[in-house]
Amino acid sequence: MVASYDSFSHAVIFFWSYMILITAADGIGMGLLSMRDSNFLKMYTYISGSKFPIVFGKILSQLFFLWVNMVILLLFSAIIHQQPVTSLLLTSILILIPIAIPMYFLFVIPAILRVRATSLGPLLTLGVILLVNFSNVHMSTGTALDYVVYLNPATVIVTLSKSVHTFLVDATIDIVWASLIVLIIYFVIGIISYQRLDIISREAR
């Protein structure tokens, strides 16, 4: 049975949200934490004079890795379900920087924690799975609590990705603005976390 395009695009975007978050958690959060624990971050910072190049380089490499995987998933899914890919392919490009980068900055937080990478990895993976599974939860209380669900990174990714894909036709403007504000908050949190990022493990002191 051939799926409808709406259900196909929703499923692809749903899996994209998981891919963005898992690369953020594993590639950025765990990656920086592992480099800190192995003293590689300290060594590179002493050589270059700043930790920014290695953090920025880590983000760029993960963005490229993420996009390649997003396209592979899209192409294989489109072949199996006999669906067009042009609009979703363009969407994957448009959401990469404004959506993925704030998520990556958000996951700088694990690298500032006083924990070892080996103990935090399983918790981060479990956390990503739970966030994605709860991305379809919505509240209809008529109060500000309705926007609490948009603190879920997976919800933000799905909402804005759908908005980009449909050119804001199927998304109400207040939901889009709420998601954009949350993205800005993530970005600010990431900047603060970057400033507090130690180049050596506190546990090793």
Reported as a single tens digit per residue, the pLDDT across 139-172 is: 666 666 667 777 888 988 988 888 887 764 455 5
- pLDDT, greater one: 149 or 178: 149
- Which residue range(s) make up the domain with 173? 5-204
d(CA 203, CA 116): 8
With 80 as the cut, is the pLDDT of residue 175 above it?
no
Is 202's pLDDT higher than 60? no
Output b/e per residue, 7-20; b: 16+ Cβ within 10 A: ebbbebbbbbbbbb
Tens digit of pLDDT for each residue in 110-130? 888 887 777 788 888 899 999
**For residue 4, what is the DSSP state?**
P
- Of 109, 118, 117, 122, which Cα lies nearest the Cα of 36? 117
Residue with tokens 């920014």: 52
Does the structure show a pLDDT above 70 at 7? yes
Half-sphere exposure of 85 (CA within 13 A, CB side): 16
Cα 78 to Cα 192: distance, rounded to the nearest angstrom: 40
69 pLDDT higher than 90: yes
- Looking at residue 117, what is its pLDDT? 75
Task: Give percent of the chain above pLDDT 70.
Answer: 84
> In this model, does residue 174 exceed pLDDT 70?
no
Give the whole-number percent of the chain exceeding pLDDT 90: 19
pTM of the model: 0.80
Checking if the pLDDT of 97 tops 50, the result is: yes
pLDDT band with cut points at 50, 70 and 90 for residue 73: very high
Q: Structural domain tally of the chain?
A: 1
Contact 26, 126 (CB under 8 A): no
Top-confidence residue, 3 or 17? 17
Mean pLDDT over the full length of the chain? 81
